[in-house]
Structure formats: structure tokens, C-alpha cells
Chains A and B, each alone.
Chain A
Amino acid sequence: MRRGHEEAEESASKKTNQTEFTIAILSAQRFILTVILGCGLVFGKPAHAEEPPPGAFGAGAVVEEAPREAEGDAAADEGESETEPADTEAAPEAADRSRGASDEAEETEHAEPTERAEPTERAEPTERAEPTEQAREAEEPSSDDFGSERPNEGAPIPQTSPPTILSSTPAPWPHAELPAPQRVLVHIDASGRVMHVHPSADADTPEFAMASAALRAWRFNPARVLGTAVESRVHVEVHFVHSEAPEPTRSQTAPDVTPEDDFGAGAAVDLEEARNESRGPSDFELDEELRLAPSRDAADMLGRAPGLYIDRPVGGAVGHRIMLRGFDAEHGQDIAVSVEGASLNQRSHIHGQGYLDLSFLIPEVISSIRVTEGITDPEQGDFAVAGSADFRLGSAHRGMRLAGSYGSFNTGRLAAVWAPEGAHEDSFAALQLSRTDGFGQNRSGAHGSFIGQVGFGEHSAGYRHRILAVAHASRYSSAGVLREEDILEGRVGFYDVYDDTSARAQSGSANKILLRYSAERRGESSTRFGITLGYDRFRLQQNFTGYVERSREMPDWRGRGDLNEQRNGTFSVAADARYRSAPFGAGALRGTYELGFSGRLDLIEQGASLIQAPQNEIWDERVDASIQQTDIGAYVDFDLSFSDKLFVRGGVRADLLHFDIDDRIGNFVPNFRRETILPGHRRSAIGVAVGPRLTVEAVPHENARIHFAYGEGFRSPQARTLEDAETTPFTRVRNVELGVALQTVAPSWGDKPVFELSAAGHFTQLSDDVAFEAAEASVTRIGPTRRIGLTSRLTVRPLEGLLGTLSFTYVDATLLEPPPASAEEPNPAFSEGARLPYIAPWTLRADVGYRRAITDIAGEELSLRAGFGYLFLSDRPLPFNQQTPAVHRMDASIGATWSRFDLTLSVQNLLDSQYASFAYSFASHWDDGTRSRRPANHITAAAPRSIELRLEISL
């Protein structure tokens, strides 16, 4: 019954000093460098020529994709492959060994020696593997293997290691006779999880299905390049055991056995991740943390990043407001956010520069988020002021999933994810529908979104293509802001809306369509290009100030309510491409370079009006404009290693921005002046922003890394603020960081270290910052600013299933030179040396999650889990020297998984803290009394305690 596994262990024990694997580095999310590395690591390959027993791990398991990928290059290297008689002599033996373990073995036996690639020219003889036939095929001229000729031929590449198995479970088999082991190609992500099981010719057989399902539970120590975990592909053999007595996982039964032994002989690695994404201790890859504490949506997930606070103060149809490391990023002006490489920030948006809305994202298909705080990567473009975030989509769970949840405030949500079996993790279709009555008053609404992504083709066989489609629509009412004194004096409830027609008419509505096609080739060098089409429409009715506005066009029209309607429609087309070179250099100095290009055109129609509820009669026009904005960018990025202890990454980025503005009611003539012109203000402007980015990483000890980073970035201006022929006044950003990362070397129960600690001091200076101006419901210039801070993050995995993270950020954000008082602005809200408004100096976030299998019920494992999250924001300063109190929020969840069912009970804001999601300070007039012209604190309420029960069924 357990024959397969026993034989595997027997086979593993017969390892020799000779085996081989082929490594080609691949990039998963980014495009590409392919480094093909030859390492002669040998794991468990039998030295004798006997045919290994059925089920033995990996004998002869080599890369078969490489020859396909290398067809184009075959001719160039063919001659070379004929010149190694020593290798061809080894072929029969290797072929024999491979016969029993590989379906392709028979085919490779018939391979002509002259067609074989020269396999081991670069490896030292003692390290050289005995090539099987398949190995020779793999080493035919290829951009992914070692067989191809390259400048650094023969030299070892430092700090490269293949993936190794941490835990593996045989596939259960319900029938009496066990099938032969399945040999499959799996794609392993940088965290060591199986991303994708590549379908083979037998993909539609039950054996493949069972093997594929079992592989999802395997865990690997990921491949590493220059010390950084990267994606890789590896062939593995999956053995079968009778399903009545499932084999326990390796980690449970044989913890004293090194993973490499279990990994089996001849595991051939096709390591393709090339681009070193990590740029230091402020570069975070969020994956397992995403589901520690309850996450209602993508914003909750993004909130796991250190120093980041995100909430949605205006309602479900308006983008989240984000604070990151001392920046009030508003709705996106200071953080560049993308999904699968497609930028979400909208240029010159009426509601705020860089506006973005994350509500279209479906949390069930968010696989990870890369958050880069600071400016360290030349790929970071416009809006990467405080940092950037890239959402990666995928569904590790294959098949159909249905999820439904219901909870407080009559909130219901349905989600469905369909991920075709056998397809790559990146192929799925997901749908969500959600509606709520909303907490408190005037917050009801609904939204729905669809995300579909399909990938086809293989990196190893040329290009892998990917098409992403997004559709989203939402409409929510909004309670808007409340004066704090009105709440304190009982005139309005904390979660209420003003009993006023104009206040009750506040709402938001949004639509989004996004289409992206990308193609990626991975090899020794690699290429990716993509085209993105987007259409976004936004409409907001919001009243911040009550009744203080008067019509500009008809001054006698006044007091109809400051219900400010903002409209924005953007059609965008963008293209991007990047090329990552093959490795170059020799000796201690090695590296790659990357060239990247991007182009984007935005056609924007926007307007703003004052409207009178409930008939929405227009009583003033404030904005009516068309904008055409173009951004052409390019960068070069080097990834250099000077030794195995010193690495330098960085380059230069340049962006050219062009603006063409048709402001149809610009040059407005007040009615008390004699009209000598017609309304309208057409203008254009252009400018170039160039900025270097550099990261130096030193590795003084295997447990420690020290980073220094310097970067210059930019934020483009809102187009309507520009004058004709103005050299575009980009907001220049200078960012300096010094940090350290410590971690234990031995992995814990997962594939990651037991203990990780990072800390970085950062200094950022902006040439011309902006801050939110409530009266205009948009931002206003406040002059240069400076931030000095420290961000630290601790991650611990002390027990199997237990994960904890703790992060804190302190930032001193100071206004350096605010605009002086003027006739138009005699009472500026900001003064020199004042702390920047809205920004909490201290942000602390703690998350703990624990998951454990409890028992078996009806042959199915029952596992329980619990999660807890805590957020602390210190007092936040406001304009006019006001401030709002600190925030403490706790979230918790418990859940159980059994068979196809997953049940979760989550509580947000466990202690029912009553706090302001966001606070503002400005003058308003809501009541019937004498108007106060003093700035007063206004708040938007954060959600009270809310309970949600969620059931997910896997079909």
C-alpha cells in the first residue's frame, strides 16, 4: 500500500555525487531576466545503471521544455554539441536510469548522439551530472539551459540555489493497483508554494488529476538567486498511495531527513525568476499576511503593509483614502498602485490627482501584493512618491468556489471563482456582488465586479500570453462629514447624516472597464510587453460645507446647498515593454540590465457643478474641461553583484509629460465686470522629470542585510493648474533610506524563517506638496515638505500554523515653507514648521493568525483557525492647528475548514470603538443659526463593530 513512498525513500537514499539540473531564472511578476545557471547539485540520483523501481523519485527527471524553447537557437549551438564524445558515452547509462521514471525515457533512448547537446562544458567534472537523454535534450541550444554558449561560460554564479522540497504528500489513489508515479512540471513561487501544475499529455487522466491535487499541498524552499527567493519550475514525481491510508506529510514523519533527500534524484530545475524585485527592507511582499486577520476587501489586505492606513470615508463608490509613511496619499496621489502591471492611478482626476478605487478587486483572487515604500526602483513612475503597490492576481485553488456572506447592517455578498483545473494559477474568472444598508444613515449601496484572466502559452516555449478583463460598477449613498461640535452637543448622531436635503443627496457612482494584454518571454534574456485599455467614469455628489456657496454665474443664486457634483470620465490607452538582458560580467562582478519603456495617453472629460437637491438642478458651473495627457517614460535598471556580499541595484528613469487643456469656462468674467472676452482657457504644457534610483545591499552575515537607498521620483500636476507653456512643475521627491534586515536562516514550519526583522530610517523631501482642501473637495498647494521617520516590521513563525507580524512607523512630517498669506488667502491653514495635516506620526499594526488541523471527520480533515488584528494611529494634526484623537481598532476572526466547506466568523472593530475614519478642519454652515466662520473639526465616521459570517464551498 505504501510501496511508492517507501521506494521513493529508498531511491532517495542512493544519491550520488553526480546529477545535474538546469536552471533558468525566470521572473514571475516582472519581466525578465533569464539567467541560466549551472549548478551541479546532486540529490539522490542512483549511481548504478539499474532501472529504478517504479515510483522512485526523479531519476531522469529533467527538463523537457528547454528544447522546445530553444528551437530558435538550436542551429547556433548544434556544432558545439557534437564535439563532446565523453558526454555522449555517458548517454546510454543515463538513458537507462531514466527509463523507469520518465514517460519520455523511451523516446530519448532513440535520440541520435549527434543531435545531443553538449551538456556539461561549463560544469566542473566532479559536479557534472551524468546526463540522461532528456538531459541532453534539455541542453540542446536553449535560452533556458546551460547548454547555450554565453560570455560567462564556466564560471559559477554566486548564490544560486534550486528549490528543495520541505513537505510532500503522496497522491491518494482509490483503486487497488497503484499507478506509476506521475512526473509533472510544477511552477513554484517565491514563497515556495506551487503556483501551477503544467498540464502534460496525460493531463486529462485521473492520475494527473490526483497528482495535481496532491501537489497543491507540497511546500518548497524556493529557489534563490543572489540570495533572493525567486520563482522556478521543477520536475517532480508524485507517487501514489492507497487513499484508505494516506501517507502523512514528510514534515510530520521524518523531520530529521533533509528535504533534499526527499526531493529525489534528478530533480531538474528550470529556474526562471530573474529580476531581483526586492529593493531593501522597505520592500514588502504580502502574501500569507493577507489572510491573517479578517479582510473584507482589497483595501484591508493593502492595510497590512507597514505604516499604511486605508479607509473609505466618503462611501462605497469613492476610492479609498490612503496614508503611507507620513504621506496623506489622498485617493492615490502619493502611491502608485497597479494590478498585474496595469496602473490604476488616474491622471488629473477631478477628485484628486492619481485617484484610484480598489473596490473592483475581488479578494478571493488576490494572491499577493508587493508594496515598495519609498523610491528605490526605476520601474516606479508617476505617483510613486510615498511608494507603490502592485496587486497580483491568481487562484491557487482550482475548480469552482462559491462564497456567500451576510452580516451587520444587512450586508450581503456573493462571490464566485472559477479556476479551470489543469490551467495555470493565473487563469480564472471571478465575480462578486455586494450590497448593504450601511452602518448609520445614508450609506446604502451596492457594487459588483468581474475579473477574468486567462493565460496561454508557455514561457519556456516562446511567449506566455495573458489577458485580463475587469468590469466594475458601484453606487453608494454617503453620509459625508459632520461637525464634531454637532455630535458632542447631540444635534446629530455619530453615524447619522444631517437632516438636510442636500446632505442626504450625497452619493457616489463609478464604472470601470479595464482590458490588458501582456506577453512574456523568459529565457536567458527575457522580454515582456503589454497593452492596457481603460475606461473609468466617476460621479460624486458631496457637500462638505453646508450652505456657504454663492453662484459665480448668477450671484443672486445662493444658499441652495453646497452639493458639489464632480464628474470625471477617462479613456486611457497604455503600452509598456521591458527587456532584461542575459547575465554579463566575469569574476566577482556580474549582473544584468533592464530597459523599460512605457507610454500612456489619457483622454479626460471632467466637470464640477453646484446642484440643488433633490431635483439636482444645476445652479453653478465650476469646471468644464477636456484634458489630453501623455506620459512617455523610459528607464534603465542594473542589477549588479560585486561579490556574494555586495549588491548594487538601480538606474535612472525619465518621463516626459505633455498636457493639452481645454478649460471651457476658464477666464471667467464675473457679472459685475464688463464682458470683453468669451469664456474659455485653452493651453498646453510639457515637462521632463529625470530621477536616479539606487539600492546598495551588503550582506555582512548570513542573518543580516544592510541596505542604503536613494531615489528621486515625481508626481505630475493636475493639468488644470498649469499655465500655457509652463515648464511642467513636477513635484520632485527625494528619498533616502538606511535599513537593516535580520532573519534566522533555518526555515520554520513554512518555507520562511522563524524570525524576520527589518527596520529602515527614511528621509523624504518634496519640492511642492499638496494637502486636501475641504471647501473645494480637492487639494491645494502647501509648499515644500519633509518627512523623517523610522519603519520597522517583525515577523515570527514560532509554531507550525502560527504567524505573527508587528509593524510600527514613526514619521515626523513637517511643512517647510507654506505659501504666505495673500489677499485671496489671508488666513492660510498652514504655517511654517507645522506638522503636516491628517498624518498620524505613529502607526502600529499587529496581526496574528493560527491554523491547526484538529481531527478527521468522515475521512476529511477538520482544521480551525483564528486571526486577530490591531491598529493604532496616534493623534492626527489637522489644518488650523486642530487635531483628532488617536485610533485603536481590533479585528478578529475564527474559522473552520472541512472537506469542501469553509466557514468564517469575523468581527471588525471588535471593541466597537467610535472613531473618525478621517477628520478635517474647515469652516462650514449646516444649521439655521448664525454662521460660524471659524475652522471646525469635521469627521467622517469609521464603521462600528460589524459581524460577518461567511461560507465558502468548493465544488
Chain B
Amino acid sequence: MRHWIAICAFVTLTGCALETGADELALPVIAGGSEARETLILESADGWSLDIEEARVAFGALYLCASEMAGDFCEVARGEMLETIVIDGLAAPEEVATLFVESADVRSLMFDLGIRHELRETDPVTLSPLPEGASVLLRGNASREDRVEPFEFAFRIEPLQAGTTTVRRSMETHTPAATDQLLVELNLANLVREMRFSPYLEAGTLEDTQTLRALRLAIMAQRAIEISWNEPSQE
């Protein structure tokens, strides 16, 4: 009898000891401006001084991926935040959502900007709460020399084709921990650094202008939206 007990105890303990696997985490998503203040004065590429009064970006859904490159290799994601949030570029970062992620290496990410286009949707679907379903809303005054021009840029950035996400990028490899936070910041300096304001003034509209192309590029490729892991202090 004792032998039976011993055998049963052995296999049970062995079984428990061998049970491993990554943990599922629910981490806060902290979103805001990288330089938070009531107004922010920046300079465009063509010398306009931009006094930003409102800067908001619709953000999400967000997917964190195990692959070096997101996109086709991220059919199964390590983590995700499915809702659409708004990043206020003039506000201090605050918790706005929850990220569900596996405690395993994350190497890339991809996200939409308030507009999705799933495979079976004929047209893109707007989720952004911003006016007119815009992905980006930028309002303020531009001044150069004695000239002051108010502006309000509201534009959409959609996925290129159905079944894809709008923005894909790599990130430094990181294994999320239970105490981590995901920090999503709108960096307005990066947003307008390559933007020329004059084409907008000359055209009288933002559509099809170099101004819009620069803003789009800044959002999609030039890190106007910065995403990082806000690891807790070792102390």
C-alpha cells in the first residue's frame, strides 16, 4: 500500500512541477501628451510658429506582436487593446484603457487610428469619437512675422486595405511584467517637425496638400505617437 501511495505522490508532484506557461496580464494603458501643458508653441518646417490649442488623436485597436515585423506575421497577437481611445496631446498621461497581454516577448506592434477595415467590411468603419470621425484633430493658430492664421486640421487615416491595420512598427523586445504600464504619448513636436504650413494656406484646404502628407507621415512613420513600456522604478 505504501508503494502505491508513493507512486501516486510521485506522479502527482511530478505533474505539478512540470506545469509551466506564460501568464496572462491585464496592464493599464497610459495615454497623453509627451509635453503636457495648456498650450504648446511649436515650429513647422517652413518657419511657422504653431500655437497648438487642441491636439487629439484617435488610437486603437492596438496589437502587440511576437514577430519582428507586425502585419501578416501577427495573425495571433501577444497582446491587444481593442477599444478606440483618444490621446490628448496637451494632457498629462493618464490611464485610459486596459491592455491584455501575455507575459512573453513582444517585438512589434500595430494599431489603427480610430478607423478599422475588417475583412468582411466593404468600407472602413469609423470608431473615432472625434468630430467627423477624424483620426487626428489639430487646432490652433499659426503665426509668422505679423501674420496669424487660425487652423483646424481634422483628417482620417484609414488602413490601406481590408484586413490590415493602419500603422505597423517594431519595438524593442520586451517581456511584459505584471507591474508594467503601456505608455502611449502624442509627441506634437514630432508631428509638425516635417510639416509645411504654407501649402495649406495656398490651397485653402488640407486635402491633397503637402501639409496633410507630412502630418500623415509623421503619424504613421515618424513616431508622432510614441509607445513604450513604462517599467516601474527599481526602488
Contacts and interface: CB of A to CB of B under 8 A. Distances in A.
Binding partners A and B: yes
A226 B66 CA distance: 61
A548 interface: yes
Q: Which 9 A-B pairs have the closest CB atoms?
A: A559-B120, A826-B67, A559-B119, A881-B21, A827-B66, A933-B77, A812-B15, A826-B66, A558-B119
A790 B11 contact: yes
Contacts of B107: 826
15 contacts: A547-B118, A559-B119, A775-B75, A788-B11, A790-B8, A823-B67, A826-B67, A826-B74, A832-B20, A833-B18, A835-B15, A925-B119, A929-B82, A931-B119, A933-B76
Interface string A815-830: 0000001011011010
A833 B22 CA distance: 11
Interface in A567-582: none
B233 interface: no
Contact of A932 (B19, B74, B80): B80
Contacts, number: 115
Interface of A: 547-550, 558-561, 759, 761, 775, 788-790, 810, 812, 814, 821, 823-824, 826-827, 829, 831-835, 841, 877, 880-881, 922-923, 925, 929-935
Contacts of A823: 67-69, 73
A930 B67 contact: no
* Interface SS of A by simple majority: loop
Nearest to A828: B66
B15 A560 contact: no
A559 B14 contact: no
A812 B76 contact: no
B76 A761 contact: no
B18 A835 contact: yes
A206 B22 CA distance: 75
A932 B82 contact: yes
Contact of B61 (A841, A925, A930): A930
Nearest to A790: B11
Contact of A826 (B20, B61, B68, B102): B68
A560 B15 CA distance: 44
A812 B20 contact: no
Contact of A923 (B24, B76, B121): B76
B128 to A, nearest CB: 13
Nearest to A562: B119
Contacts of B11: 788-790, 810, 812
Contact of B80 (A549, A829, A933): A933
Contacts of A559: 118-121, 162-163
Contact of A931 (B4, B12, B118): B118
A775 B23 CA distance: 23
A935 B163 contact: no
Nearest to A881: B21
A695 B69 CA distance: 53
A547 B116 contact: no
Contact of B162 (A558, A789, A932): A558
Contact of B14 (A788, A877, A923, A929): A788
Contact of B116 (A831, A922, A930, A934): A930
A881 B103 CA distance: 11
A835 B171 CA distance: 31
Interface in B53-79: 61, 63, 65-69, 73-79
A931 B63 CA distance: 10
Contacts of A558: 119-120, 162-163
Contacts of B78: 827
B77 A834 contact: no
Contacts of A789: 11
Given A559-B163, A823-B73, A933-B75, A790 B7 contact: yes
Nearest to B119: A559
B182 interface: no
B153 interface: no
Contacts of B68: 823, 826
A829 B163 CA distance: 22
Contact of B65 (A761, A827, A831): A827
Contacts of B18: 812, 814, 833, 835
A826 B73 contact: yes
Nearest to A923: B76
A934 B26 CA distance: 13
B155 to A, nearest CB: 21
A528 B77 CA distance: 57
Interface in B4-60: 4, 7-8, 11-12, 14-15, 18-24
A560 B8 CA distance: 52
A933 B21 contact: no
A673 to B, nearest CB: 15
